[in-house]
Amino acid sequence: MIIKKSESFQIVDKNFLRSHIGDDAGIIAIGNKYLVLSSDMLIEKHHFPKEMTFYQKGFKSVTVNLSDIAGMGAYPLGTLISLALPKNICRNEFDELINGILEACSFYNSPLIGGDTNEGDELIISGTGIGISDDENVLMQYGFKNKDLIAISGEIGLSAIGFEILNQGLEKTKKRLIDESVSSEFIDKSVSKILSPIAKVNEGLLLKESNIVTSATDITDGLSAELHQMYNSSNKHSKKSKNLGFLIYKDKIPSIDIIEKIAILLNKDYQDLIFNFGEDFELLFTINSSKFNEFKDYFKAEEYYIIGEVNKSNKIQLSLSNGKIEDIKLKGYEHFK
């Protein structure tokens, strides 16, 4: 019907395009650059603790989308945010929400590129993070080898603790924990982590630039879920590296003693807090152990934690303080209900 078929179709189809699905983000090659794209949808009752302000909800919606970009070691180019707004949202709540979104974009140096606004039954914030890399070898969830070190970019389990503190009543729970000699600093850090999480964007870029990190992902769903994803991704993509497994040392998990103590006080299983809650938005990554000295040029010792190693066990396991080894199971967690 149309006289011409656009020539752009032919040009692009040949070898312009490479797409990858299933990692933290999809990848498209554009000339000698690599676009990294990820979408995340936040739904009020699943993703926002009820104590969260609208500003914090807006900020978090940008954080979760850029955390996936950070997990690939890509530079964040921008974010698109679409909103479903319930009828009963007030004007000042809406302004706060938008303010949180815009300040997060400014914080991450990653502009708001677009979006859409609609009326919905509940608050939903759906975002897309756009990243870019000069290098085809962005950080994937696979690529680790036997004897690589397993590391995290910061403390984990704190978001889970912060959530439980809020859930059991902030003031009274805080008082109870302080009475049991938990520092108020640790409590505040935990509450801040659940209400105002930060994506480790610069850290992700440095992990990529170091050329020593063999794989990475961001910790959204909990350490257990992310380890299982990396294990499955490796089995799918790195056919030669069969039987690789992970061994995590309980005693190497930062602040494990405090976390275990708080878990008992909050009537929770410490393993659930560390492995199954997530929402920490720290990076989980593997380091080529023979080049670990070079890694130290990029990060100070207090900026990362080596928590385990890749081995040939074909299992995902935890080594307890007494040397006993048990499997780290994949366990779902119902957030914020």
Task: Kindly list the residues in this chain that would bind a second copy in the complex (CB under 8 A).
Answer: 1-9, 12-13, 17, 19, 21, 25-26, 28, 30-33, 35, 37-41, 43, 46, 75, 77-78, 80-84, 109, 111-122, 124, 126, 128, 130, 132, 134, 202-203, 205-206, 209, 297-300, 302-303
Count the alpha carbons within 13 Å of 135 in the hemisphere toward its beta carbon.
13
Residue (237 or 315) nearer to a second copy, CB? 237
Q: Least distance from C-beta 60 to a second copy, angstroms?
A: 14
Q: Least distance from C-beta 277 to a second copy, angstroms?
A: 17
Query: DSSP label at 32?
Result: T
CA distance 324 to 319: 6
Residue (222 or 271) nearer to a second copy, CB? 222
Residue (218 or 309) nearer to a second copy, CB? 218
How far is CA 240 from each of CA 228, 234, 236, 243, 316, rounded to the nearest angstrom? 18, 9, 10, 9, 19
Tell how strand 213-218 and strand 283-287 pair up: antiparallel
Tell me, letter by letter, the H, E, C secondary structure of 277-314: CCCCCCEEEEECHHHHHHHCCCCCHHHCEEEEEEECCC
CA distance 317 to 329: 8
Q: What is the DSSP string of 194-254?
A: HHS----HHHHHHHHHHT-EEEEEE-SS-HHHHHHHHHHHHHHH-TTSTT-EEEEEGGGST
The encoded tokens of residue 73 equal 């070691």
How far is CA 302 from each of CA 122, 148, 279, rounded to the nearest angstrom? 41, 20, 21
Residue (155 or 203) nearer to a second copy, CB? 203
Query: DSSP label at 272?
Result: I
Q: Least distance from C-beta 235 to a second copy, angstroms?
A: 21
Residue (152 or 266) nearer to a second copy, CB? 152
CA distance 203 to 221: 19
Residue (131 or 308) nearer to a second copy, CB? 131
Q: Least distance from C-beta 42 to a second copy, angstroms?
A: 8
Q: Least distance from C-beta 64 to a second copy, angstroms?
A: 9
* Cα radius of gyration (the chain): 21
How far is CA 230 from each of CA 128, 211, 308, rounded to the nearest angstrom? 22, 19, 14
Q: Least distance from C-beta 24 to a second copy, angstroms?
A: 9
**225 closest CA partner among 141, 319, 127:** 141
CA distance 199 to 18: 26
Q: Least distance from C-beta 206 to a second copy, angstroms?
A: 5
Q: Least distance from C-beta 202 to a second copy, angstroms?
A: 5
Residue (20 or 176) nearer to a second copy, CB? 20
The answer to whether 78 and 231 are in contact (CB under 8 A) is no
Residue (6 or 181) nearer to a second copy, CB? 6
Residue (111 or 245) nearer to a second copy, CB? 111
